[in-house]
Amino acid sequence: MASPNSLLAATADHLARFAPFDSMAREHLLWLAERLKLAYYGKDEVLLAPDQGEIKRFYIIKQGAVQVQQAGTDDAWLELHEGEVFPLGALLGGRQAISTFKAITDVFTYELEVEDFHALFRLSPAFQDFSTRRIATLLERSQRSVQARYAATTAEQQSLRSPLSSIARRKPVTCRPGTPLKEALETIRDNRISAIVVVEDGDQPVGVFSVRDLIGRVILPGTDLATPMAQVMTPNPMSLPSTAHAFEAAMLMARHGFRHVLVADGGRLTGVISEKDLFSLQRVGVTQISAAIRAATGQEALVRAAEDIRQLGHNMMAQGVAAEQLTQILSTLNDILTRRIIELECAARDECRVAYCWLAFGSEGRLEQTLSTDQDNGLIFLVPEGETAESVRAVLLPLAERINRVLDACGFPLCKGEIMAMNPKWCLSLEEWKTVFSRWIDAGDPESLLNASIFFDFRPLLGQENLAEDLQGWLLAKTTATPRFLHQMAANALRNRPPLGVVRDFATDGEGDLANTLDLKLNGTTPFVDAARVFALASGVPATGTAARLRGAAAKMNIPTAEVEAWLSSFYFIQMLRLHGQHEEMQAGKPMDNRINPDELNDLDRRILKESFRQARKVQARLALDYKI
Amino acid sequence: MAFLARFFGPRLPRDPDLARRLEAWLALPEANVKDALRASRYVVVDVETTGLDLGRDRLIAIGACAVENGQAVLADSFEIVLRQDKVSSKDNILIHGIGGEAQREGVEPVEALVGFLEFLGKSPLVAFHVTFDQTMIKRAVKEYLGFEFKHPWLDLAYVMPGLMPEYARRYRALDDWSGHFRIGNFARHSALADALATAQLLLCALPLAEAKRSRHYADLMDLEKAQRWVSWSG
| Chain B residues whose beta carbon lies within 8 Å of the beta carbon of residue A45 | 207
Per-residue confidence at A145, pLDDT binned at 50, 70, 90? low
Q: Assign residue A540 a region (left: φ > 0; alpha: ψ between -120 and 50; beta: otherwise).
A: left
Q: Are A119 and A34 in contact (CB under 8 A)?
A: no
Q: Cα separation of A275 and A262, whole Å?
A: 11
**pLDDT tens-place string over residues A274-295:** 776 765 434 456 777 888 888 8
Q: Assign residue A464 a region (left: φ > 0; alpha: ψ between -120 and 50; beta: otherwise).
A: beta
Spell out the residues 6+ positions from residue A435 whose beta carbon is closer than 8 angstroms to its own. Answer: none
Q: Cα separation of B135 and B138, whole Å?
A: 5
**Across the interface, do B78 and A38 touch by the CB < 8 Å criterion?**
no
Quick check: A75 pLDDT over 70? no
| Phi and psi angles of residue A336, each rounded to the nearest 5 degrees, phi first | -60, -40
Of B183, B184, B187, nearest to A6 by CB-CB distance is B187
Of B182, B192, B204, nearest to A7 by CB-CB distance is B192
| Phi and psi angles of residue B50, each rounded to the nearest 5 degrees, phi first | -75, -10
Kindly state whether residue A169 falls inside one of the protein's structural domains. Answer: yes
**Across the interface, do B196 and A6 touch by the CB < 8 Å criterion?**
no
**pLDDT tens-place string over residues B42-99:** 999 999 998 888 888 889 999 999 999 999 999 999 999 999 888 888 888 888 888 8
Q: Are A9 and A73 in contact (CB under 8 A)?
A: no
Quick check: A142 pLDDT over 50? yes
Q: Are B204 and B126 in contact (CB under 8 A)?
A: no
Q: Cα separation of A315 and A285, whole Å?
A: 10
Quick check: A25 pLDDT over 80? yes
Q: List, in order of start, the domains of chain B with CATH numbers.
A: 2-233 (3.30.420.10)
In this predicted structure, what is the pLDDT of residue A350? 65
CATH number of the domain that A210 lies in?
3.10.580.10
If asked whether residues A126 and A180 sit together in one domain, one would say no
- Smallest CA–CA distance, residue A51 to chain B, in Å, is 22
In this predicted structure, what is the pLDDT of residue A280? 47
If asked whether residues A501 and A622 sit together in one domain, one would say yes
Q: Are A63 and A81 in contact (CB under 8 A)?
A: no
In this predicted structure, what is the pLDDT of residue A583? 79
| Chain B residues whose beta carbon lies within 8 Å of the beta carbon of residue A34 | 74-75
If asked whether residues A185 and A118 sit together in one domain, one would say no
Q: Would you mind telling me the total number of residues written for chain B in this entry?
A: 234
CATH number of the domain that A27 lies in?
2.60.120.10
HSE of A295, CA atoms in CB hemisphere, 13 A? 9
Quick check: B4 pLDDT over 60? no
3-state secondary structure of A271: strand
If asked whether residues A545 and A606 sit together in one domain, one would say yes
Ranked by mean pLDDT, the top range of A268-272, A524-528, A599-603 is A524-528
Domain interval for residue A26: 6-132
- Give the DSSP letter string of A21-82: GGGS-HHHHHHHHHT-EEEEE-TT-EEE-GGG-S--EEEEEEES-EEEEETTS--EEEEE-T
HSE of A318, CA atoms in CB hemisphere, 13 A? 19
Contacts 24+ apart (CB under 8 A), B64-68: B64/B116, B64/B119, B64/B120, B64/B191, B64/B192, B64/B195, B65/A7, B65/B192, B65/B195, B65/B196, B65/B199, B66/B41, B66/B42, B66/B123, B67/B41, B67/B42, B67/B43, B67/B126, B67/B199, B67/B202, B67/B203, B68/B40, B68/B41, B68/B42
Per-residue confidence at A197, pLDDT binned at 50, 70, 90? very high
Q: Which of B65, B68, B71 to mutate to test the interface with A (most CBs of A within 10 A)?
A: B71
Q: Are A70 and A31 in contact (CB under 8 A)?
A: no
| Chain A residues whose beta carbon lies within 8 Å of the beta carbon of residue B71 | 37-39, 111
| Chain A residues whose beta carbon lies within 8 Å of the beta carbon of residue B192 | 5-7
Partner B contacted by A173 (CB < 8 A): no
If asked whether residues A107 and A47 sit together in one domain, one would say yes
Partner B contacted by A6 (CB < 8 A): yes
**Across the interface, do B74 and A8 touch by the CB < 8 Å criterion?**
yes
**pLDDT tens-place string over residues A586-624:** 777 777 788 888 888 877 777 788 888 888 988 999 999
Partner B contacted by A106 (CB < 8 A): yes
pTM: 0.52
User: What integer is the mean pLDDT of A255-266?
Assistant: 82
User: What integer is the mean pLDDT of A237-252?
Assistant: 80
- Interface confidence, given as ipTM, is 0.87
Q: Cα separation of A47 and A25, whole Å?
A: 29
Kindly state whether residue A389 falls inside one of the protein's structural domains. Answer: no
User: What integer is the mean pLDDT of B128-133?
Assistant: 94
In this predicted structure, what is the pLDDT of residue A374? 81
DSSP bridge pairs for A509: none
Q: Cα separation of A544 and A551, whole Å?
A: 11
Kindly state whether residue A336 falls inside one of the protein's structural domains. Answer: no
**Across the interface, do A37 and B72 touch by the CB < 8 Å criterion?**
yes
If asked whether residues A125 and A172 sit together in one domain, one would say no
| Chain B residues whose beta carbon lies within 8 Å of the beta carbon of residue A10 | 186-187, 193
In this predicted structure, what is the pLDDT of residue A528? 95
Q: Are B128 and B156 in contact (CB under 8 A)?
A: yes
Q: Cα separation of B116 and B191, whole Å?
A: 13
In this predicted structure, what is the pLDDT of residue A155? 32
Kindly state whether residue A592 falls inside one of the protein's structural domains. Answer: yes
**Across the interface, do A63 and B75 touch by the CB < 8 Å criterion?**
no
**Across the interface, do A7 and B183 touch by the CB < 8 Å criterion?**
no
Q: Are A265 and A293 in contact (CB under 8 A)?
A: no
Average pLDDT, chain B: 89
In this predicted structure, what is the pLDDT of residue B7? 53
**Across the interface, do A7 and B206 touch by the CB < 8 Å criterion?**
no
If asked whether residues A616 and A495 sit together in one domain, one would say yes
Q: Cα separation of A58 and A37, whole Å?
A: 11
**pLDDT tens-place string over residues A359-376:** 999 988 998 888 777 889
- Give the DSSP letter string of chain B: -HHHHHHHS----SSHHHHHHHHHHHTSPPP-TTSBGGGSEEEEEEEEES-S-TTT--EEEEEEEEEETTEEEEEEEEEEEB--SSPPPHHHHHHH---HHHHHTSB-HHHHHHHHHHHHTTPPEEESSHHHHHHHHHHHHHHHH-S-----EEEHHHHHHHH-GGGTTT--SHHHHHHHTT---SSTT-HHHHHHHHHHHHHHHHHHHHHTT--BHHHHHHHHHHHHHHHHH-
Q: Are B60 and B43 in contact (CB under 8 A)?
A: no
Q: Cα separation of A568 and A565, whole Å?
A: 5
Of B199, B200, B207, nearest to A42 by CB-CB distance is B207
Residue A468 CB coordination number (10 Å): 21
Q: Which of A565-569, B19-23, B159-163 is predicted with the least confidence, judged by mean pLDDT?
A: A565-569
Q: Which of A5, A6, A7, A11 to mutate to test the interface with B (most CBs of B within 10 A)?
A: A7
Kindly state whether residue A124 falls inside one of the protein's structural domains. Answer: yes
Q: Are A389 and A475 in contact (CB under 8 A)?
A: no
User: What integer is the mean pLDDT of B131-136?
Assistant: 94
Kindly state whether residue A280 falls inside one of the protein's structural domains. Answer: no
Q: Cα separation of A252 and A240, whole Å?
A: 9
Kindly state whether residue A360 falls inside one of the protein's structural domains. Answer: no
Q: Cα separation of A434 and A475, whole Å?
A: 8
If asked whether residues A170 and A103 sit together in one domain, one would say no
Which is higher by pLDDT, B136 or A131? B136
Q: Give the total number of structural domains in chain A.
A: 3
Quick check: A148 pLDDT over 70? no
**pLDDT tens-place string over residues B166-210:** 998 889 899 999 999 999 888 777 899 999 999 999 999 999 999
3-state secondary structure of A572: helix
- Smallest CA–CA distance, residue B3 to chain A, in Å, is 41
Quick check: B144 pLDDT over 50? yes
If asked whether residues A124 and A196 sit together in one domain, one would say no
Per-residue confidence at A186, pLDDT binned at 50, 70, 90? very high
Of A5, A40, A110, nearest to B203 by CB-CB distance is A40
- Identity (one letter) of the amino acid at A383? V
Nearest alpha carbon to residue A467 among A436, A512, A434, A507: A434
If asked whether residues A517 and A602 sit together in one domain, one would say yes
Helix A430-443 / helix A446-455 crossing angle, nearest 10 deg: 140
Q: Cα separation of A482 and A534, whole Å?
A: 12
If asked whether residues A498 and A604 sit together in one domain, one would say yes
Kindly state whether residue A463 falls inside one of the protein's structural domains. Answer: no
Q: Which 51-90 residues of chain A touch chain B by CB within 8 A?
A: 63-64
Q: Are A51 and A101 in contact (CB under 8 A)?
A: no
- Which residue in B has a C-alpha nearest to residue A82's C-alpha? B184
Ranked by mean pLDDT, the top range of A86-100, A209-223, A433-447, A571-585 is A433-447
If asked whether residues A501 and A594 sit together in one domain, one would say yes
Per-residue confidence at A152, pLDDT binned at 50, 70, 90? very low
Of A33, A45, A106, nearest to B74 by CB-CB distance is A33
